Chains A and B, each alone.
Chain A
Amino acid sequence: MDGNLDALTTVFTEFYYWVTVVFMFLIHVGFCMYEVGASRARNHMHTLMKNIMIIPLVTVTFFFFGWWIYWAFPNFWFFGGSIDFEAGAANLPWSENMATNLDDRITGVFWAAFLLFSWTAASIVSGSVIERIRSSALWVHAVLIGSVFWIIDAAWGWHYGGWMVQKLGYHDAYASGVIHAIAGGYALGVIMVLGPRIGKFAKDGTPRDIPPHNPWMLTIGIFLIYTGFWGFYAACNVPAISPEAIGGQITGTTWTATNIYLAPTSLSAITFNFLMSLSGGLMAAYVVSKGDAFWTFSGGLAGIITASAGNDLYHPIQAMIIAAIGVVIVYNLHYWVERKFKLDDAVGAVAVHGYAGFVGLVISGFVLWGAPSSPYEGYAAINPIGQFLGAVIMFFVLGFLPGFIVAKLQSAAGVLRIPEEVELQGLDYAEHHAYEDAKEAIIEADKAALAAKS
């Protein structure tokens, strides 16, 4: 850090990302509460542990290779590109930058901000498969979506040099596609192989509602997800950067906040749009679900996700309307898919994340048509075809296909689903009995100690 201004900017940026990481931890807390609240009492501990262990497994793998993928994979061989070993070198686990280093104060917090997105991607999949997947199977999926597939899509479409940005004009400022569509698509691929929970469908194929065990835990969970989502939005921005540091076409000396593509936006803009899209989503979901509490809460989230692709540029009223449109589509699509294909998406994750992300990308292609996707020369402008292709790549190519194929392999090996007997008695059955036995033993011991004294 050479001058005072440089030092101040660096320390501010370091602190900015650090704060976003702490906020984003609440997303994971929220997902855990939501999943446990949605599961039945006989599965609580396994449901919780299944999600908690995403944290260490995705963290260590994201350190070992996930972060390197982001910097090494932005190019695509179709367009004459290849793996960029030079750019990736500073982000390998044995690089000096990936450690305590007074000459690099940003890599650690930037890595962590991306890592928290990785947890989210894995956690989205985790929710849809509760009460019947083997934890060991889910943890493989968590590593694949969290440290491989989502970060490939980030390199392609969420990087200032990504080939999708350059060639398609792909624009996805707050991750409608790069987190939500891919995770929803991945979850769809897994649940297609995994099958529904016992009792989810009647003999004639009519779906049954499996109500949450603890609605209040679910409510707090989703409010924590909202809160963490705010941190996520901030984490998607570069807080303050000069045109000189961007090195693109921007002239003059005016500093700005930017999106991940280094194109200008502001924290104020995204605060407007976050709140208006949350509101549009909540209002539409309340109406379309006829006041169902959980769809209303999820609709708030789906509204934000639908508007997220363009929330760096939208007008707040546009964000509100786009969110509302997205929620109506998502809600109806969820029930159509459930009835038609007999799929059991336990928390509506495929709909709220996958369909909302897909729809949001498509809508943004029209609303932002012709806007520059990047501050650099020669990049395609934002356009409907590029956004549609981007949505297909996120949802189907990098999400659905890997999830489906890996789940098929796990199913063939007999390691995907828990045995039927265990599903009926509950995943916590053995632990529950150990708990009861331990409780009985310690009560007896206390009683004996008391009797010996008297």
Chain B
Amino acid sequence: MSTIGYESWAVDLADVSAIYPFQGWEVPMTVIGVIFWLAWHRIQFVREGQHLEEARKMGEKDKIDKMLERY
């Protein structure tokens, strides 16, 4: 058994195309990849919302003035 479909390289490379593991599982792999990508956006939106909510309560007037002057 070989995950790439070849157990040896005793082949004519002219007859070989895909050599990645788990051929035939491209669609499920794409689904997993897309879920990973969308989950990343979801986590980011939630976390940034929480962070900004905390940040808006953190500011001290003197320090903000200094930051504005610092440019």
Contact = CB atoms under 8 A, between A and B. Distances in A.
Given A254-B14, A368-B21, 14 more contacts: A243-B13, A250-B9, A250-B11, A250-B13, A251-B11, A265-B19, A283-B36, A287-B40, A315-B22, A318-B20, A321-B32, A321-B36, A371-B7, A381-B2
Interface in A269-302: 280, 283, 286-287, 290-291
A263 B1 CA distance: 18
B55 interface: no
A320 B40 CA distance: 13
Contacts, number: 95
Contact of A318 (B15, B21, B37): B21
A321 B33 contact: yes
Interface residues of A, number: 36
Contacts of A81: none
A135 B39 CA distance: 46
A249 interface: yes
B23 to A, nearest CB: 8
Interface of A: 243, 248-254, 256, 263-265, 280, 283, 286-287, 290-291, 313-315, 317-318, 320-321, 324, 367-372, 374-375, 377, 381
Given A313-B19, A367-B3, A252 B14 contact: yes
A320 B20 CA distance: 14
B28 to A, nearest CB: 10
A319 to B, nearest CB: 10
B53 to A, nearest CB: 15
Contacts of A369: 1-3
Contacts of A263: 9
Contact of A249 (B4, B10, B19, B26): B10
B16 A264 contact: yes
A324 B30 CA distance: 15
Given A243-B13, A317-B33, A321-B36, A287 B43 contact: yes
A173 to B, nearest CB: 12
A381 B21 contact: no
Contacts of B16: 264
A314 B8 contact: no
Contacts of B44: 286-287
B3 A264 contact: no
B22 A324 contact: no
B32 A368 contact: no
Contacts of B19: 264-265, 313
Given A320-B33, A320-B36, A321-B33, A371 B10 contact: no
Given A313-B21, A315-B26, A254 B36 contact: no
